Structure 1
Amino acid sequence: MFRIHGDRMNPVRARLDASPMGSTQIIAVALAAILSALDGYDVLSVTFVAPAIVTDWGIGKAMIGVVLSAGLMGMALGSFLLAPIADVVGRRKMILVSLGLMAIGMLACGFAGSIQSLAFWRLITGLGIGACVAIINPISAEFANARRRPLTVAIMAIGYPVGGVGGGLLAAFLLQHHGWPSVFFAGFVAAAILLPVVAWLLPESPAWLLSRRGPDRLARVNAFLIRCGHAPVDALPDSPVETRRGYAAVFAPRQIGATFWMVAINGFAVATIYYVLSWLPQMVADAGFPPSVASTVSATASLMGVVGGLLLGWLAQRGGLRWLVGFTILGLGVSTIAFGVAPPSLPLLIAAAGVCGFFLFGTGTGIYVTLAGTFGDEARAAGSGFVIGTGRIISAIAPAVAGGLFASGFGRNEVCFFFGMSSLLSALILLLGWRRFRRA
């Protein structure tokens, strides 16, 4: 069973783990999924409007590349610098800060009058996105009971591609009728609506409340228990002996091995994931099919990915998480290699892309589930931020490496084999280190 715990199991935590999830917990998980969908929309919003901006401002693709890079840089900084603060001040407060940054950034992007201004405000938006993505992973795990935890993390993770797909449809409508600034304004409206909703409905994480010190600890824990329909307790165990929080806990001697174990698993898998996401449409087009067909193949992969992510979360409730996640990452590697050798037949390419997408988003879900159980309560947001932040850097490098390989004369089969092997290495690292580094 996948459990979340600190240095020792708290009786309050044991009660929450064993009891059915109440409405407060279900709402918290639903909010995490909605925030994930907003992240997906905000991340991709600039890619939706890029062609319109090129035409409107008469700029080249190189300048749009600066805007894209600014957003990615902001996301990495948000994961590295802001997410760890959630281990100190609480998950809820930093989610609100992240939403505020996203709202301000998206609003300002809609009013941007130059490429420099747009790049700056994409950096600010990225700060909020990077922090939010790293914090909603702990939230989705810490509000769930033990049985449903893998599924709740999966639901949160799947919110991201759902937001991207839905955002693409919304952006197509807005671009046609209202112009490119409206795509950013829509993101601002969504974030502005979510701010009071999150402030009203999302309580502080029970794991964070139980891991902290302070004279009001018992009162706040009891308030949460009552809100979830549980009877209050008369006393809590002594405050945790571990006083390190954030990066001090992430790089503590007993934790540092697990930290870099997760960085390696995520890094090698992310290289494959972003290679496939970035180059799949172009590889289909290079096989002789028009761009519209290439987009259809890519959409098929995304839809199958939603199925894969949810199926992994459902199966993980039944145990065997180690082998399930390892098999999913292994499947990503094998299916990527298989896509590389698939002949230029549309039915075969669609089938290969669908299988690849199934394992791709399943891998993302599996890594999030593994990540949530690798760090203690005192370091979960910081650990998630560090692992996801390094993944952001790799996600920016991998497509460029693939482009260099293609430009050097390597074919689809060879480049797919290279990146497929990256996932195979990720699966091997996960399986070899599971028993040594997992805390839950």
Structure 2
Amino acid sequence: MSRTVNIQQFLNENRFSPYQWMIFVICFLVAFFDGMDTAAIGYIAPSLLDDWGIEKKELAPVLSAALFGLAIGAVVSGPLADKFGRKIVLTASVILFSGFCVASAWAQDLTQMAVLRFITGLGLGAAMPNAVTLLTEYCPDHKRAMIVNTMYCGFPVGAAAGGFFASWLIPAYGWQTALMWCGLLPLVLGVLMVFLLPRSVSYLAVKKKPAEQIRRILKRINPNADLDGAEFVVDQSKITHSSENPMAMVLGSHFRFGSILLWLSYFTGLIIFYAMINWMPVLFKEANMPPELGPRISGLFALGGLGAIASGYLMDRFNGNKLIALLSFLTAVSVACIGWALGQGLGMLIAVVLFAGVMQNTAQTSLPALAAKFYPAECRSTGVSWMLGIGRFGAIAGTFLTGQLIAWKLDFITIFVILAVPSLILSVCLLLKQKIYGDN
């Protein structure tokens, strides 16, 4: 008679192997290049103003083009990944965004740049949720939040590295070279993923794929495991309805309100992140800051996402909803102080921007792990990707909102106070989720 092996129990009982670390590194690099390519347009924006002789308000459609693509790519990719597999969609998305990032270097006007950035965004949007989902399905329960949050830190680290990279590369070689390098590096990664990245064992089990495929992968995690003749199942500790399609599950009576709260949380968080990343270099230039300092200080804001490592450690031990709500409240306070700090000297500005970045990015990068924990394997990719995709419209809203605030000629203090409000909304959403679902 065949034995039944619970895949999640197998992962919980075995040490985190070198094979799983390889999956982690690949997913981290996907997040890194996703962050670098997403933020690239904000870093080259001041150069586009000069080279193409355009007004700041004309940049809004270009800055938002990739964000529309990000939203659509994320929403569409989740159901595709739940149907065809995480690896296939993830690898294709990396190759798509890297190739069109390179193509963006040859754009001759705003229209061409907007179209190319939109297509780039489709790949960027599909990459992150599937990287989160794939890695989640190779993590033990007691380390999942820390591992996934650490991986997701690749996004702000990539965005920060892009700022430092751009501040050196653009003055010497032009904005086109920056886009080329931002595309060529992940293109190499995409090719390697075809050969190195495994399929999700949980996905294979849910889809009733041959047990030998699953056994072969799990043997890479523990070569000494006795898996001969075993049948494999996913963790059934959550309420699941495997006969339903993933979209119906995410929108069903049990998960519906939690899904809406997660969407609102990610939406409001990205209003702040993209307002800062896309517009801070332009705002600081208007404040008569030396041109090379704007991208560097903006990079410090993105670099604050490294705090998500500590948040992941705490989420594995304490209540994730309450923790992220607290971080979001502190974000609101610190973002509101950035306009004031502009008049207090460079040291104070750097301190406030860095603290705001740590709070905001730590909260934001913790949300995918929270969503991955909330949804079962049958609809996890759809649930996570829809949160990231629908939330991306917050990035669009943040970009246009900040552009409008600048067009109204509001002072810096007022602009940053207004941008602090979404973080308060995020805190409320997660406290409501805690009240309804508990620590899930």
TM-score normalised by length of structure 2: 0.86
Aligned to 2:349: 349
Q: Which amino acid aligns with 2:310?
A: L
Q: Which amino acid aligns with 1:334?
A: V
Gap runs ≥5 in structure 1: 1-8
> Please, which moves more after superposition, 174-183 or 24-33?
174-183
Map 1:384-403; keep pairs closer than 5 Å. 384-403=384-403
1:312 aligns to 2:306 (yes or no): no
Q: Deviations over 1:243-279 (max 9, x none)?
A: 3333232212322122112112222333233334445
Cα pair 2:335 2:419 within 8 Å, conserved: yes
2:125 paired with 1:130: yes
Aligned residue among 219, 222, 230 for 1:226:
219
Deviates more, 1:404-413 or 1:161-170: 404-413
Structure 1 residues 97 and 341: CA distance shift in structure 2, 3 A: same
Provide Cα deviations, 1:58-98, integer angstroms capped at 9, x if missing partner: 55556544433322221111112223201111000001210
Deviates more, 1:415-424 or 1:134-143: 415-424
Q: Distance in 2 between matches of 1:296 and 1:190?
A: 21
Contact 2:167/2:292, CA 8 A, preserved across alignment: no
Cα displacement (A) at 1:241: 5.2
Q: Which SS does the other structure have where 2:141 is aligned?
A: coil
Report what 1:148 is aligned to.
143
1:433 maps to 433
Asked whether the 8 Å contact 1:329–1:359 carries over to 2, the reply is yes
Residue in structure 1 matched with residue 77 of structure 2 by the alignment? 82
Contact 1:322 1:434 in 2 (8 A): yes
Q: Does 1:36 align with 2:31?
A: yes
Q: Which stretch has the larger CA shift, 232-241 or 412-421?
A: 232-241
**1:117-148 superposed Cα distances (whole Å, 9 cap, x missing partner):** 33322222111111002211212322221222
Kept in 2: contact 1:268–1:426 (CA 8 A): yes
CA displacement, residues 197-236 of structure 1 (integer Å, 9 cap, x when unaligned) = 112221111222232234x1x2222122112114325223
Question: How many Å separate the matches in 2 of 1:159 and 1:184?
Answer: 19
**What's the Cα RMSD here?**
3.0
Query: Within 5 Å, which residues of 2 pair with 1:119-198?
Result: 119-176=114-171, 178-198=173-193
- Describe the SS at the equivalent of 1:433: helix
Relative distance call for 1:265 and 1:172 in structure 2 (3 A) is closer
- Pick from 98, 104, 112 the counterpart of residue 109 of structure 1: 104
Q: Supply the distance in 2 between the matched residues of 1:433 and 1:154 (Cα, whole angstroms).
A: 20
Determine if contact 2:97/2:121 at 8 Å carries over to the other structure: yes
Task: Give the total of aligned pairs.
Answer: 429
Shift of 1:113: 4.5
Evaluate the alpha carbon distance shift between residue 299 and residue 186 of structure 1 in structure 2; reply closer, same or farther with a 3 A threshold.
Answer: closer
Calculate percent identity across the aligned residue pairs.
23
TM-score, length basis structure 1 = 0.86
In the other structure, the counterpart of 1:3 is: none
Within-5 A mapping of 1:232-247: 232=227, 234-237=230-233, 242-247=242-247
Whole-Å separation in 2 of the counterparts to 1:300 and 1:68: 20
* 2:379 counterpart residue number: 379
Q: Does 1:27 align with 2:22?
A: yes
- Aligned partner (choices 92, 96, 104) of residue 97 of structure 1: 92
Query: 1:257·1:437 contact (CA, 8 Å) conserved in 2?
Result: no
Against the structure 1 CA distance between its residues 15 and 436, is the aligned structure 2 distance closer, same or farther, given a 3 Å change threshold? farther
Give the secondary structure class of the aligned counterpart of 2:38. helix
* Cα distance in 2 between the residues matched to 1:177 and 1:54: 17
Give the Cα separation in 2 of the matches to 1:117 and 1:59.
15
Evaluate the alpha carbon distance shift between residue 349 and residue 79 of structure 1 in structure 2; reply closer, same or farther with a 3 A threshold.
same
8 A contact 1:29–1:144 mirrored in 2: no
* 3-state secondary structure, aligned to 2:231: coil
Gaps of 5+ in 2: none
Tell me how far apart the structure 1 counterparts of residues 420 and 37 of structure 2 sit (CA, whole Å): 29
Looking at structure 2, the residues matched to 423 and 402 of structure 1 have their Cα atoms a distance apart, in angstroms, of 15
Pair 1:432–1:65, CA change in 2 (3 A): closer
CA contact 1:225–1:231 (8 Å) conserved in 2: no
Q: 2:57–2:407: 8 Å Cα contact kept in structure 1?
A: no
The corresponding residue for 2:368 is 368
Asked whether the equivalents of residues 288 and 344 of structure 1 are also in contact (C-alpha less than 8 Å), the reply is: no
Distance 1:275 1:174 in 2: 23
Secondary structure of residue in 2 paired with 1:379: helix
Letter in 2 for 1:326: A
* Aligned partners of 1:105 and 1:124 also within 8 Å: yes
State the 1:359 CA deviation.
Answer: 0.1
Classify the secondary structure of the residue corresponding to 2:16. coil
CA contact 1:272–1:333 (8 Å) conserved in 2: no
